[in-house]
Structure 1
Amino acid sequence: MYRIFISHSWSYSKDYDKIESFLRQEGVTFYNHSVPKDNPIHTNGTDKQLSDAIEAKVKGCSCVIILAGVYATYSKWINKEIAMAKRYNKPIIAVQPWGAERTSSVVKDAATVIVGWNAKSVADAVRNYAIYQTL
């Protein structure tokens, strides 16, 4: 089983949902290690509490998937999540958004692999780069 942390902004939750859909569509068995949207830490917690929650999730994951849209360059969390992934030697899978003319060089420079916006590419990257974990 793969424990996958999908980096995201809840402002772009459709993309997050689509990544999950891609993985299921391709038969990837995974546990979503992302901090759930309904976790009150998103709205009531401090930045430190959210950072600690994200770090705990990244530390135990098989890989980090980051959408490489240009919005990622301006996210205050992307650099933190990249640093966490690097600290724990987690592979970073950058997914280029469909039809994006510009993508985040911050994400692409940190990525273990960069893939296109399609189910097979994302699933193959997980199978080839993520750390498989038994329960």
Structure 2
Amino acid sequence: MFEDEKDDKIYNLIISNGFDQKNEYGQFTQKLFEKVDFLWKESISGSYEHASAEFYSKVDRIILLAGLYNENKDLFNSLLNASEKYDIPIVLVRPLGLEEVPEILEQKAATIVGWNANCIIDSIKDADVLI
């Protein structure tokens, strides 16, 4: 990587979790951990619906794992509302092994990405440009 292309930003992410029968959350975070040139941390709240403006002011992106949507609709709705209220871009990750995503999520996403680690990182970095 060229020095002028180096990105030293530490991206503060919220990554959807919850009931996860296929361990998509674990597989997704593993992909992030494997990209040693991408710096990130995760913000977690006991209730995203009641988290403060200060909490959200530090978040760069909300990552929604579309494969978890059907079993975690309340969590997703809280994150969709927060995205809109605090102007946080959403990176929507397709369900593992599938192409289609729920329409409600697609409409709110700044970008939609599959499971290629390089594409995920590029989508996170460029999400604010795509809005």
For normalisation by structure 1, the TM-score amounts to 0.73
- Superposed CA RMSD in Å reads 2.5
Whether contact under 8 Å (1:61, 1:90) holds in the other structure is yes
Equivalent residue, structure 2, for 1:22: 31
Equivalent residue, structure 2, for 1:98: 96
For normalisation by structure 2, the TM-score amounts to 0.75
Q: Which runs of 5+ in 1 are unaligned?
A: 36-40, 42-48
Query: Does 1 or 2 have the higher relative contact order (CA < 8 Å, sep 6+)?
Result: 1
Matches within 5 A, 1:80-99: 80-99=78-97
- Distance in 2 between the 1:52 and 1:60 partners? 15
Aligned-pair distance for 1:79? 1.7
Equivalent pairs counted in the alignment come to 117
Matches within 5 A, 1:114-133: 114-129=112-127
Paired AA for residue 28 in structure 1 = F
* Secondary structure, counterpart of 1:30 in structure 2: strand
Which has a greater percent of helix?
1
Matches within 5 A, 1:42-121: 51-53=49-51, 57-69=55-67, 71-73=68-70, 75-100=73-98, 102-121=100-119
